[in-house]
Amino acid sequence: MAEAFRIGRYKVHRIEEWQGGFSPPEALFAEFEAQAFAQVADAFEPDCLREGMIYGYLQSWLIDTGDMRVLVDTGAGNGKQRPGIPIFGDLDTGFLSRLADGGYSPEDIDTVFCTHLHIDHVGWNTQLQDGEWVPTFPNATYCLPAVDDSAWNPDGDQYRTMSGAQVNANVYEDSVVPVLASGRCRLVNDGEAIGAGMTAVHAPGHTPGHMVLEVCDDGDMALFTGDILHHPMQVYRPDWNSVYCEDRSQAAETRLKVLNRAANNDARIVPAHFGAPHSIFVERLPNGRFRPQNAIPIQGG
């Protein structure tokens, strides 16, 4: 696991859990337009599009400041029952081995930050030991969005109105409840500090409590955006949502804010699912639209 990039003095490592074809683009994007996608489809191959399928990754990001180690999002996890999305159920990946390849053990992680409480962002919060789900990172404080904790709790009133409740079946029980019960969980609200130069920013729409982790050091900025962007196509078309976005109007508004913040500050965008190079910088075009830096132009933008 080589160093992926730096944010000032902070080292960032990418820890891959899974990669593969996920779905056809028309099945992922709620506002899909075939002609618009076709204009840039060639640029997405083979890292983000293969044989007509969106090609994606489950990956976590480890930020090592020298004084603390923060793990951003924890993938799908091993051996978990996922009837709502079987592709991420009963996995048996080498995630922890890849963490070890970088010289880190679960005990080395000081903080786990989950951008939101979806199936593929909290899975390695826990692992199965003696028939029980226990925290994977025993010394870490788990920072979870307070708004999402309330929204995804199956005992709460809001859960029954969530469109993703079926897809997220079992997730709260096996990947959130055990860390809450451990006493190592911190429910985080907008603007709270996670570490030196690290701020949790409420970024709703994909889920009610989705957060971006904004990290600044020595003049550099990176935005760990979780599922604000699933695919580079959404840089060109921030009005396109994934079918998993709970509030599509709000999600599109949040996406546009994130792109503007990145362009205004020359900040690196670090999503959870992008193919190589896995993180990007964006530029704002004269017409107000965006594209990844050094990307091919498209008609009208």
The CATH number of whichever domain residue 159 belongs to comes to 3.60.15.10
pLDDT at 296: 54
Domain contains 235: yes
Per the CB < 8 A criterion, the answer to whether 184 and 177 are in contact is no
Domain contains 298: no
Per the CB < 8 A criterion, the answer to whether 117 and 125 are in contact is no
Taking the CB of residue 87, how many other CB atoms lie within 10 A of it?
A: 13
Mean pLDDT of 274-298: 85
CA–CA distance, 271 with 217 (Å, rounded to integer): 19
Domain contains 48: yes
Domain contains 299: no
Number of domains observed in the structure of the chain:
1
Q: Range of 186's domain?
A: 3-292
Domain contains 10: yes
Domain contains 154: yes
CA–CA distance, 42 with 38 (Å, rounded to integer): 8
Give 3 or 100, the one with higher predicted confidence. Answer: 100
Reported as a pLDDT band with limits 50, 70 and 90, residue 68 is: very high
Domain contains 297: no
Report the helix count and the strand count for the chain, using DSSP H and E.
Answer: 8, 17
Residue-wise pLDDT tens digits, 85-99: 999 999 999 999 999
| First-to-final CA distance of the chain | 37
Residue-wise pLDDT tens digits, 125-176: 999 999 999 999 999 999 999 999 999 999 998 998 999 999 999 999 999 9
Q: Is the pLDDT of residue 100 over 50?
A: yes
Reported as a pLDDT band with limits 50, 70 and 90, residue 2 is: low
Strands 198-202 and 193-195: antiparallel
Reported as a pLDDT band with limits 50, 70 and 90, residue 232 is: very high
Q: Where are the alpha helices (DSSP H) in 102-227?
A: 146-152, 171, 177-182
Taking the CB of residue 294, how many other CB atoms lie within 10 A of it?
A: 8
Q: Is the pLDDT of residue 71 over 80?
A: yes
Domain contains 301: no
